[in-house]
Amino acid sequence: MKKLTVALLVAMAGISGSGALVVAERGKAPECLIVLPADPEPSRVYAAEELRDFVKGITGVTLPVVTNDSPARGVYLDRGGAELGDDGFRLSADGRDLHVVGGKRGVIYGVYELLERFGGVGWFSGWRTVVPEAAGFAVPAALDETHRPAFRLRSTTWRDSRTNHVFRTRLRLNGYDGFDPKFGGVECRFVKGLSSCHTFERLVPQKQYFKDHPEYYSEVNGVRRDGQTQLCLTNPDVLEIVVSNVFALIERDPGAQAVGISQNDWYCYCTCPDCKAIDDEEESHAGALVRFLNAVAERVCARYPKIMVETLAYQYTRKPPKKTRLHPNVMPCLCSIECDFSRPLGSGTKKANEKFRSDIEGWAKLTDNLYLWDYTTNYRLYMHPFANLPVLQENIRFFRDNQVKFLFEEGGCYHADLAELKNWLLAKWMWNPELKYEDLVGRFLKGYFGAAAPYAEEYLKRYLACCKTGTNRHLGCFAFDAPEVFPDDFIAWSLDNWSKAEVAVRDDPGALVAVRMAAAVQLVTQLDRWVAEAPRVWASRNPGKWRLPDGAKVAYDRLMEIRRESERAGRPHQLGNLAVRQQLPIRNWTAMVTKPYPTEPCDRGVVTAGEFDSWNEARGTFEKDAEAFTGKAFKAVNYVNAASAYFNLSNLAFDPEATYRVRVRVKVERQPDGKGEAFAAHLGKHRIAKRTEEIPDDGYHWYPLATTNLVKSMLFEFQSGRYENGGGRTAVKAVWLDQLEFTRVE
């Protein structure tokens, strides 16, 4: 090989200035060693291994790793001082040696900074790494810079980085769970046996205490409530139970750094006189919570001074208390779940965001440990386009400017809408919110999509143009499909665009997978929209007006092939929403493309158990039942006071000018001596509610719901009986829904 000059190496590495320090040169024996300090911790050894392996990938040269000083030139992985913390690092060259100085994670991050900037290495997803072959690896001879992250905790639940700890480390995410010591551990690891949120029920279980001590739980409308409840935070026994259980958890997990003590995932806060008096004084339902947690933290801190007590500032506790400052070891986690993500949280006149701005400013005044739980996906439709990309960077800047120290960006599933790009950008900006959008996106598209980058760039250009049209609608993290933002012609164009991109990368397996997975988003959206227009149940005198959409079978087959590919790779799509079972969308699509469309008039349509949709499995399940017409029914249980099953009338072929009689077939399983509402059913504005005393006997019975004209936007919802007077127990163990019948009456 022709001998390379330093000037050529400098040009190759993209280094400008007075010179370069050459670390490795292709075709030459290594003159530079990787030097570890004596007794290196696992993370420093791992940093050395990563540097060695990737330099070899770039240059073909293997740099020896040694653990003692040597007269040879070296890349020294030195220990940093307290000023760098666990994550900060300093890179410096002294004309002979290169020094990476950092803490237990900082030294790894410093190595990655070198490899990315001067070696061109790109970690774009857990399965897509780009290592360019080059003539050498060099850094500026005058290199001297220090890097510290904008946030102490940087974590996402985008599936790719959450499950792949190697990739997560390469993105400089330090998580709060599941890190091997070789990755430098985690920042703020929560105690084992207790999650980081919604822990009241785990700490004071109702099954253990409610029967003898209902006073431990929320008083709602004068009734101490079980089931869907919170804790009575002014009860001294509750404080003792929580502290005792927290001590036991910490003793079993002495390496933990935090314990989560927070409300269950619903409202039903306590309104007893003592709790209400505090909340009134603090002008927030966070008042009683904060005072309770301060008392817990004082006890915990006395025994375990380094343990943080985390809680949620969420829903009814989101507004900060007016008077009480938090104990130094209390960490409030402010959640943005109600916000509008079509516009930046820190600006604009949307009321939801204005309230959030007020709340974050208020909490920042009460604590130095502000934790922010942000939402960057659409839980209702993971695999549909979600127009939040334009606000991500500005939101992270806003969090930093409002004293957030711990940042958690909740994400979605594998290959969701721009999932890989959003995850990568969030990680980059959590480290440094000032990194330029254009530079980052350009680098990602070229690295991730390879030769298909021009197609990806055009897609993103049109995608962002669509995002601008959606800024007048509220974009929550449980958003419905938005054809007015991402119209059908955009979806059709996108599918054609990705088909052309496939041709461009047919010889690059990694880029080909990236393109195919990107196309899955448009395929899911297209099929979901077609399903909404394709009835599953028939009750019409003119069934011929409905037919299978053109191209539906081709789109279905293409998506199933892509989905099988993702499953084989261990990266399955989550096709349903956060709560709904994975198979539900596939069932609907399959029915659309395989179910015969009738040609004869239909006066009666029956929705059976297999046609209902479930909000989630915690509210009810589809089970075998010999008494049901099809041998299977939906069993709604008393988990929450909310609908358990539903059916969209867009799935019913009916004649809008006709009148229909609607009724439901239901079986009630009573509580012993239970009295009160047994079940309720809704259809648009129509509602029936039956009490246990109105149920004639055991077994199924038909109940009339309405006689009315039907509208496509109507939604049928079914639920088990509500709590009486806002508290107490329900009157039933479960309610079985067998059929929903629509019969034309004129």
What's the CATH number where 43 sits? Answer: 3.30.379.10
Which pLDDT value is given to residue 72? 78
Which pLDDT value is given to residue 723? 66
Q: Are residues 136 and 11 part of one domain? A: yes
488, pLDDT greater than 50: yes
Domain boundary pick from 113, 147, 181? 147
Weakest mean pLDDT among 176-190, 298-312, 678-692: 176-190
Q: Is residue 512 part of a domain?
A: yes
* Dihedral in degrees, nearest 10, Cα atoms 416, 508, 443, 420: 10
What are the residues whose beta carbons fall under 8 Å from the beta carbon of 386, sequence distance 6 or more? 377, 378, 417, 475, 479
Dump pLDDT digits (tens) for 256-293: 999 999 999 999 999 999 999 999 999 999 999 999 99
Which position has the higher pLDDT, 448 or 548?
A: 448
Q: Which residues of 276-309 are buried (b: 16+ CB within 10 A; e: fewer)?
A: bebbeebebbbbbbbbbbbbbbebbbeebeebbb
Residue carrying structure tokens 């021009």: 454
Alpha carbons 100 and 90: distance in angstroms, whole number: 6
> Which candidate, 68, 117, 64, 70, places its Cα nearest to that of 89?
117
Which pLDDT value is given to residue 583? 60
pLDDT bucket at 442, cuts 50 / 70 / 90: very high
Q: Is residue 219 part of a domain?
A: yes
Alpha carbons 519 and 511: distance in angstroms, whole number: 13
Which pLDDT value is given to residue 146? 98
Which position has the higher pLDDT, 606 or 14?
A: 606
Weakest mean pLDDT among 110-124, 509-523, 576-590, 730-744: 576-590
Q: Is residue 177 part of a domain?
A: no
Which pLDDT value is given to residue 50? 98
Q: Are residues 24 and 109 part of one domain? A: yes
Dump pLDDT digits (tens) for 662-698: 999 999 988 877 788 899 999 999 999 999 889 887 8
Q: Are residues 626 and 550 part of one domain? A: no
Domain boundary pick from 273, 302, 335? 335
Q: Are residues 534 and 495 part of one domain? A: yes
Which position has the higher pLDDT, 63 or 69?
A: 63
What are the residues whose beta carbons fall under 8 Å from the beta carbon of 137, sequence distance 6 or more? 13, 22, 23, 24, 55, 58, 59, 118, 119
Give burial (CB, 10 Å; 0-12/13-18/19+) of 383.
Answer: buried
Q: Is residue 17 part of a domain?
A: yes
Residue carrying structure tokens 């127990």: 729
Q: Are residues 230 and 118 part of one domain? A: no
Q: Is residue 407 part of a domain?
A: no
Q: Are residues 527 and 490 part of one domain? A: yes
* DSSP state letter for 225: B
Q: Is residue 436 part of a domain?
A: no
Cβ proximity of 705 and 715 under 8 Å: no
Number of domains in the chain: 4
Q: Is residue 32 part of a domain?
A: yes
Q: Are residues 739 and 654 part of one domain? A: yes
Alpha carbons 316 and 282: distance in angstroms, whole number: 13
What's the CATH number where 739 sits? Answer: 2.60.120.260
Q: Are residues 252 and 219 part of one domain? A: yes
Which pLDDT value is given to residue 472? 77
Q: Are residues 687 and 705 part of one domain? A: yes
Cβ proximity of 332 and 367 under 8 Å: yes
Q: Are strands 700-709 and 659-670 parallel, antiparallel or unpaired?
A: antiparallel
**pLDDT > 90: percent of the chain:** 78
Average pLDDT, the chain: 92
Q: Are strands 308-313 and 258-260 parallel, antiparallel or unpaired?
A: parallel
Q: Are residues 328 and 202 part of one domain? A: yes
Which pLDDT value is given to residue 68? 79
17, pLDDT greater than 50: no
**In this structure, which amino acid lies at residue 740?**
L
Q: Are residues 708 and 636 part of one domain? A: yes
Alpha carbons 166 and 187: distance in angstroms, whole number: 16
Taken as a whole, the chain contains a residue count of 746
* Dihedral in degrees, nearest 10, Cα atoms 334, 339, 342, 346: -50
* Dihedral in degrees, nearest 10, Cα atoms 42, 405, 290, 212: -40
2, pLDDT greater than 80: no
* DSSP state letter for 97: -
Domain hosting 568: range is 466-594
Which pLDDT value is given to residue 675? 80
Q: Is residue 460 part of a domain?
A: no
What are the residues whose beta carbons fall under 8 Å from the beta carbon of 383, sequence distance 6 or more? 413, 415, 416, 417, 520, 521, 524, 525, 573, 574, 575
- Which range is most confident: 191-200, 492-501, 667-676? 492-501
Domain boundary pick from 281, 306, 335? 335
3, pLDDT greater than 50: no
Weakest mean pLDDT among 39-43, 76-80, 177-181: 177-181
What are the residues whose beta carbons fall under 8 Å from the beta carbon of 79, sequence distance 6 or more? 37, 44, 101, 102, 103, 107
> Which candidate, 590, 633, 642, 588, places its Cα nearest to that of 615?
642
Alpha carbons 505 and 452: distance in angstroms, whole number: 6
Dump pLDDT digits (tens) for 224-241: 988 889 999 999 999 999
Q: Are residues 214 and 94 part of one domain? A: no
